[in-house]
Amino acid sequence: MRGYLVGKVVQAFLTLLFVLVFNFFLFRVMPGDPAALLLRGSSAYNPQNVAQVRHELGLDQPLPQQFVTYLKDTATFKFGDSFFMQGRPVSTTIRERIWPTILLVGTSTIASIAIGLLIGIYAGWRRNTRFDYGWLGVTLVLYACPEFYLGILVLMAFGAGVGPFPALFPIGGYSTPGAGLSGFSYWIDVLNHLVMPWFTLTFAYLGEYTLIMRSSLIDVLGDEFVMTARAKGVRENDILWRHVVPNALLPTWTLTMLSLGFIFGGAITIELVFSYPGVGWLTVQAITAKDYPLMQALFLLFSGAVIIANLVADITYMYLDPRVRAA
């Protein structure tokens, strides 16, 4: 068991290292001079100032030296100053915008996985019934729909109120600006703004978990121990929940965690659609402004989040599968 744990932590660390190196080279090796870009369009744009900014950013040092500086800075969360935020430190900018994303992505992921797995279990258990086919159909359509488009549809229908649909929710933002609410009513307001993006993010990814769980369940149904349990006289419901599901959860768990990266990606587009002030929308703004320090830090953030999520998944997997505990 210890071997498994250590192995997984080492792996996560190595992956993080890979991401750090990758991140570094990604931005250094790209065409375009960051210093020139920074000053472009401003009156201070001249060769001396560009050279000075390059010096400030440490871009005139040899590459290995830059890498060491980069590692040191990353370790102390010094990501430099954001371009389009007029020189405010990147770390501050991110810190200001991270909570809304945590709220949205956190709750949505849990809901999406929970609902998706449940539907997948029933769809697999009642294979080839109308429930199964019905959900397969819904899942397929949801899968084929880009998550931002689902957001647009929801926004149009329930935000702007198109055709027969009522305008129920505010069309964007985290809370109503200037409303001066506090305490309970403030949280209600936040929730009100959260509904549409949360709904979109949850249902956009629900389908994956359903499919994964369903096929895992169907695989397990063909295993001999299910027949043994039935022959012993175990009730059908108990067969499902006490024999089939614990086994079907194993590959599902790993595959589910693998797809977490996509939810973080979805956060980017959905925050854009709903003007939700989280790090997702920040990413889009960073792209538009070609704000390299910000982009670099955000990329690290997203990758780091996925690595940690995977590590958590691997560790919890240990409690699900006794065969791994013995290893």
Partner 1 sequence: MSLLSVRDLHVIYHTQAGPVPAVRGVDLDIAKGEVLGLAGESGCGKTTVINAILRLLPEKTKVEGTVLLNGEDVLAMKPGKLRAVRWTQASVIFQGAMHALNPVRRIGDQIVEAITIHGQAGEKEALVRAGALIEQVGLPPWRLRDYPHELSGGQRQRVMIAMSLACSPNLVIADEPTTALDVMVQAQVLKLLKDLQRELGLAMLFITHDLSVLVEVSDRLAIMYAGKVVEDGPSVPVFTEPAHPYTRALAGAFPQIGDRTFRMAPSGLPGDPPYPGDVPPGCSFHPRCPLAFEDCPKIDPDLFPAGDQRRAACLLVNRPEMARVEP
Partner 2 sequence: MRPGLERVGTSAAVGEEPTAPPPPTDPRRIAWARRRRAFSRVAKTYRKNKMGMWGLCLLIFFVLVAIFAPLIASKAGLDPTCTCTGKAYQSPSLQFPFGTDDLGRSVFTLTVWGSRISLIVGLIATLISMVIGSLLGIAAGYYGGWLEAVLMRITDWFLVLPWLALAIVLAALLGPSLIVIIFVIGITSWPSTARIVRAQVLSVKTRSYVERARGLGATNWHLISRHVLPNVGPLILANTVLTVAGAILSETTLSFLGLGDPLSISWGTILEFAFGGGAAVAGDWWWLLPPGICIILVVLAFMMCGFALDDILNPKLRER
Which stretches of the chain bind partner 2, using CB under 8 A? 15, 18-19, 22, 26-27, 30-32, 140-141, 143-146, 148-149, 152-153, 155-156, 159-163, 171, 207-209, 211-212, 215, 218, 222, 255, 258-259, 261-262, 264-266, 268-269, 272-273, 283-284, 287-288, 290, 295, 298-299, 302-303, 305-307, 310
Q: Quick check: 177 binds partner 1 (CB under 8 A)?
A: no
Taking CB under 8 A as the criterion, the residue among 230, 284, 308, 316 binding partner 1 is 230
CA–CA separation, 16 vs 19, rounded Å? Answer: 5
Q: Are 292 and 91 in contact (CB under 8 A)?
A: no
Distance CA(266)–CA(27), nearest Å, equals 23
C-beta of 138 vs 221, nearer to partner 1? 221
Binding of partner 1 by 318 (CB under 8 A): no
* Piece in contact with partner 1 (CB under 8 A), picked from 18-26, 83-91, 114-122, 217-225: 217-225
Are 252 and 259 in contact, with CB atoms under 8 Å apart? no
Asked whether position 253 contacts partner 1 by CB under 8 A, the answer is no
Q: How far is CA 212 from CA 34, 70, 199, 217, 311, in A?
A: 43, 39, 21, 9, 20
Which of 3, 76, 232, 237 is the binder for partner 1 (CB under 8 A)? 232
Q: How many residues bind partner 1 (CB under 8 A)?
A: 22
Q: How far is the CB of 260 from partner 2 (least distance, A)?
A: 8
For the bound state, the minimum distance from the C-beta of residue 98 to partner 1, rounded and expressed in Å, comes to: 38
For residue 222, give both structure tokens: 């063909």
Q: Which of 29, 75, 144, 231 binds partner 1 (CB under 8 A)?
A: 231
Tell me which amino acid residue 203 is: F
Q: Which of 31, 164, 180, 322 binds partner 1 (CB under 8 A)?
A: 322
Write the secondary structure of 114-163 as one string of H (helix), E (strand) and C (coil).
HHHHHHHHHHHHCCCCHHHHHHHHHHHHHHHCCHHHHHHHHHHHHHHCCC
Cα-based angle 258, 241, 133 (whole degrees, multiple of 5): 70
- 234 is in the binding site of which of partner 2, partner 1, none (Cβ under 5 to 8 A by kind)? partner 1
Does 8 contact partner 1 by CB under 8 A? no
Q: Does 87 bind partner 1 (CB under 8 A)?
A: no
Nearest alpha-carbon partner for 124 in 263, 262, 239:
239
**Smallest gap from residue 321 Cβ to partner 1 (A):** 6
Distance (Å, rounded) from C-alpha 236 to C-alpha 303?
Answer: 42
